[in-house]
Amino acid sequence: MAHIISKPMATSFIYLSEQFLDNRYIQIAKNIVFVLVILHYWSILYHKVLVAGPRRAYIDLKTYVYKFVFKQLRRLPSVQKKIDEALSKTLADMEHSMMSKEKGLETNLTLPAKGLSQQEVMEALHKFEDLKAADWRGGKVSGSVYHGGDDLTRILAEAYSIFAVANPLHPEIFPGIRRMEAESVAMVLSMYHAPATGCGTMTSGGTESILMACKTYRDMYKDIKGIHYPEMVVPVTIHAAFMKAAGYFNIKLITVPIDPVTMKVDLKKMARSITKNTVMIAGSAVNFPHGIADDIVGLGRLAKKHQIGLHVDCCLGSFIMPFLEKANLPTTPFDFRVEGVTSISCDTHKYGFAAKGSSVVMYRDSTIRKYQYFLCSEWTGGIYASPSVAGSRPGALIAGCWSALMYMGEDGYLQSCKDIIRARQIMEEGVRSTPQLHVKGDPIGPVLSFGANEPVNIYDIGDKLEEKGWSVSALQNPSALHVSVTLLWVSSAQQFVEDLKEAVKEAVEHPERSKGSTAAIYGTAASVPDKTIIDDVAAGFIDLLYKA
């Protein structure tokens, strides 16, 4: 039987509810909640309009509305079905492109019942080596392979052979590795004019170096300032490793626009973005997209004013930026000589020519670095401590890094800097002399980025260059092409200019032949309001990397 509330009981309940809600303390609590809600939305409005600017705020709002509508449409079975069909076709095309290069290979999905002989293993390795790939040896691939010459490669291979089993986790067993790691860090610190208190650690690459710096500032300012909701303020052009760090370490990421002409971060908008929860700001020297160095001096002043960390990402600038001054080439202040700079990341496996898997993260003093360490004194397995993400690390890569630094020396790196910058200048001059193209900003490092003037589509130019054997990187927001010039480009720079001009000529004279794969992919990406679809494609691509 249903329980029926009598009229007097209902009236009494309403009266008590009104009395409770009219209570002075409840009214104060309601007002506090109201103020907090207003502050929350004001914070969003502030960062979207005053920091990003009205134009970007409008674009973000329009994107948000489109994304919301598109997300609702995806709930319709018919729409989701079409998306799934398109996604399946895209991934199938990717799989065909990837797997077609591996024809003739045996498939090994389980351990061989009987181990192969040394000769058989070597024969199999050479088959993998001979697979069709981009022509990096001919200097036609942007970045990717930072080759210091065949002699150095042989030295790296010998160093790896000697220390193949070494692990710096056990310095008492491998004291030589400990020494080489310490000396490698010291040499890079010297290059970046660190003070006597300067220190650092080696990592597996630029991403880990950046992750460690972000983790360090999060933990340091939680300890020193009691910040429990950390934020970091970075340029939109900063490396994606900062986005990864924000996700991994639960740091709120605030991105700041760049000046559309200089391509450097807007310092005024950077200053507006700093709050009491900001633990660090960052800049690049140089950034990956456009090869532009941010105003590190200006960022240093901001860091000092607010007493926060300033990390300079020199992973790509690595062994080029420190030698520009000695080579009498245009440069800008970027290292520890700049007041306010508290940490720097430098990839030894790029223009330092060490084997892949080698980078250094540096700090102004050890009081900062200690927050990078992981320390566990109560583990049942004993007292555990490690300097970075990894526990065991390949000592062979440390030996290789040390060998590269010693073999190249200051004179070798100075010469490679001159050669690489001259190659970039040749290419830059070629772009600037082509009316349909324009260079992004004023590059001083090893990177050249350029876009196209309407009606030419820069992605079409990229596709035509690919047809001619060149492998360059596509950029977005704004659309452009990117080349990280390596030593291998020194002999191919002029040929690149000639092929580039020919590609532009073809695009202008025969626009109907355009719309290659790059143009199609980035054209689609720009038109899709819900970027989770693009994320699905990216995730599918990574899945394919693990398909045997």
Distance CA 110, CA 98 (A): 22
Closest CA to 396 of 209, 202, 213, 206: 202
pLDDT score of 124: 93
Report how far residue 430's alpha carbon sits from residue 426's, in angstroms, rounded to the nearest whole number.
6
Handedness of CA 250, 256, 258, 264 (dihedral sign): negative
> In the prediction, which pLDDT does 77 show?
86
- The per-residue pLDDT for 13 is 59
- Cβ atoms within 10 A of the Cβ of 239, count? 22
Q: Block means of pLDDT (10 residues each) for the chain, length 548 residues?
A: 54 63 73 81 67 66 76 81 86 88 89 96 92 85 93 97 96 97 98 98 98 98 97 97 98 95 96 95 97 98 98 97 97 98 98 97 98 96 95 96 98 98 98 97 97 94 94 93 96 97 93 66 61 85 92
Answer for the pair 474, 462: CB distance below 8 angstroms, yes or no: yes
What pLDDT is recorded for position 2?
A: 46
Residue 236: what pLDDT?
A: 97
Q: CA-CA distance, 368 to 354, in Å (whole number)? A: 27
Please name the amino acid found at residue 340: G
Estimate to the nearest angstrom the gap between the alpha carbon of 171 and the chain centroid.
Answer: 32
pLDDT at 449: 97
The amino acid sitting at 235 is: P
Taking only the tens place, the pLDDT of each residue in 126-175 is 999 888 778 888 889 999 999 999 999 999 999 999 999 999 999 999 99
Q: Extract the tokens encoding 239.
A: 């490396």
Reported as a single tens digit per residue, the pLDDT across 246-278 is 999 999 999 999 999 999 999 999 999 999 999
Q: What is the 3-state secondary structure (H, E, C) of 483-548?
A: EECCHHHCCCHHHHHHHHHHHHHHHHHCHHHCCCHHHHHHHHHHHCCCCHHHHHHHHHHHHHHCCC
pTM exceeds 0.75, yes or no: yes
